[in-house]
């Protein structure tokens, strides 16, 4: 599979709610970075850390959290996805609709890196009581 195919498989698994599929192509030492200011901000190393630090808290805090990808750009082992996050915060009841950019790094048949760029202010505002 190409780098773009691996990234698209992740997004397809996410849309199905398939956690195992989402991490199936992650390297054991994937470096996953959520942008500063975002509710799950930080860098996580390894699939378990991503699940525990990002995917789990996101599912717990947000109803219907979804990533919709509008465009992808691939250049060798780098894939850039432009899209948006939509969800409703479980505590505040406020909606989130924010643009995001994901930068993926692929080596061979494994995803080794991810960096999120997003409007963290919109996520924080939606979560505010």
Per-residue pLDDT of the chain (129 residues; tens, 9 = 90+): 899 999 999 999 999 999 999 999 999 999 999 999 999 999 999 999 999 999 999 999 999 999 999 999 999 999 999 999 999 999 999 999 999 999 999 999 999 999 999 999 999 999 998
Give the per-residue pLDDT at 83.
98
Using an 8 Å Cβ cutoff, are 95 and 87 in contact? yes
Give the per-residue pLDDT at 122.
95
Using an 8 Å Cβ cutoff, are 22 and 6 in contact? no
Give the per-residue pLDDT at 129.
87
Domains, the chain: 3-127 (3.10.450.50)
Give the per-residue pLDDT at 97.
97
Give the per-residue pLDDT at 51.
98
Q: How many helices (H) and strands (E) would you count in the chain?
A: 5, 6
Give the per-residue pLDDT at 30.
98
CA distances to 13, 90, 114, 116 from 104, rounded to whole Å, are 16, 29, 5, 9
Give the per-residue pLDDT at 123.
95
Q: How far apart are CA 112 and CA 26, in angstroms?
A: 6
């Amino acid at each position: 599979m190409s780098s773009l195919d691996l990234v698209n498989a992740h997004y397809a698994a996410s849309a199905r709610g398939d956690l195992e599929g989402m991490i199936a192509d992650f390297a054991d030492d994937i470096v996953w970075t959520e942008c500063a200011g975002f509710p799950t901000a930080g860098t996580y190393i390894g699939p378990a850390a991503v699940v525990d630090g990002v995917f789990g808290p996101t599912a717990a805090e947000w109803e219907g959290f979804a990533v919709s990808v509008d465009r992808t750009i691939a250049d060798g082992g780098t894939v850039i996805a432009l899209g948006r996050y939509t969800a409703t915060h479980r505590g505040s009841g406020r909606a989130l609709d924010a643009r995001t950019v994901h930068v993926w790094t692929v080596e061979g048949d494994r995803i080794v890196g991810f960096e999120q760029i997003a409007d963290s202010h919109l996520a924080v505002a939606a979560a505010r009581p």
